[in-house]
Structure 1
Amino acid sequence: MSDSLKYLRLLNNIRTLRALAREISLDSLQEINDKLNTVINERREDENQARAQLEAHSQKIEKYITLLEGEGLSIDDLVTAKTSSKTSSCTKRAVRPAKYKYKNENGEIKTWTGQGRTPAVIKSALNQGKKIEFFLI
């Protein structure tokens, strides 16, 4: 706990406040009181604004729920529609069949679909004048 919180907890005790008040002039106490009231009022305004924003948000939600019900829909319908459209767009495409076959540097037979980066073995063969049809499966 920080030191400032410890001091605030001490100031929350009436006996401690009375003891401290005896050591401070009345003018200083009045100044402290004015500053504390300013802080309290600012805090009240902040909380009132937050409450008003929450209320406005709740009213908007109620408005849209009423509109949905007027159209014969429920929130569950929207959630279902949103999640089903997401899952359909995220499905993976089918694996493409291999079109070309070649031997890599280690002598292993590899295949390539013709999509993506051209394998180095095929690329170098094409640069040497071979045709891509040479590698067809």
Structure 2
Amino acid sequence: MKAKLKKINNIRILRSQTKKISLKILEKILKKFKIIVNERRKKEVKLQEEIKKKNKKLNYYRKMLLADGINLHELLNKKNLKKNIYQKNKIIHPAKYKYLNKKGEMKTWTGKGRTPTVIKNAILNKRKNLKDFLL
């Protein structure tokens, strides 16, 4: 396809290829090219209008979210969404303890349920006390 476009786009090649074509046929081709160009322009204008309309809506929704105190990342994070739905039926306990996991990430624990391995190992090895992990 690129080779064909090269021929059409290069004026010298186009002149040599069209020498044997009559002026009447060239004018018909020109009309068809004008139709194609006009159709493409209309499509491009319509596409730009749709993009502008969509951006306007996005800005409107962004402002609504900010006004309601909703972070865009929270909205897109499906894990948080599932967790929040699940936690509506459950009593949510605030975190009491913080610790670094094996990857070096800061994590929290409410003190309910299974003790995180990092905290458990530190207490068993008598390196730390549970109070050392308090927030």
The TM-score normalised by the length of structure 1 is 0.53
> 1:1-137 to 2 correspondence within 5 Å?
2=1, 5-80=2-77, 82-86=78-82
Q: Counterparts of 2:58 and 2:74 in 1: how far apart (Å)? A: 16
Identity %: 29
Provide the aligned C-alpha RMSD in A.
Answer: 2.3
| Matched letter for residue 21 of structure 1 | T
Task: Verify the 8 A CA contact 2:7 2:13 in the aligned structure 1.
Answer: yes
| Matched letter for residue 41 of structure 1 | N
Name the residue aligned to 1:99: none
Question: Per-residue deviation at 1:51?
Answer: 1.8
Question: Per-residue deviation at 1:13?
Answer: 0.7
Unmatched 5+ stretches in structure 1: 91-137
**Any idea what the Cα deviations from partners look like across 1:21-52, whole Å, max 9, x if unmatched?**
32111111111001011111111212222222
Task: Verify the 8 A CA contact 1:68 1:74 in the aligned structure 2.
Answer: yes
**Any idea what the Cα deviations from partners look like across 1:82-126, whole Å, max 9, x if unmatched?**
432335779xxxxxxxxxxxxxxxxxxxxxxxxxxxxxxxxxxxx
Paired residues in the alignment total: 86
Task: Verify the 8 A CA contact 1:65 1:74 in the aligned structure 2.
Answer: no
Find the residue that maps to 1:72 and give its secondary structure: coil
Moved over 6 A (4+): none
The TM-score normalised by the length of structure 2 is 0.54
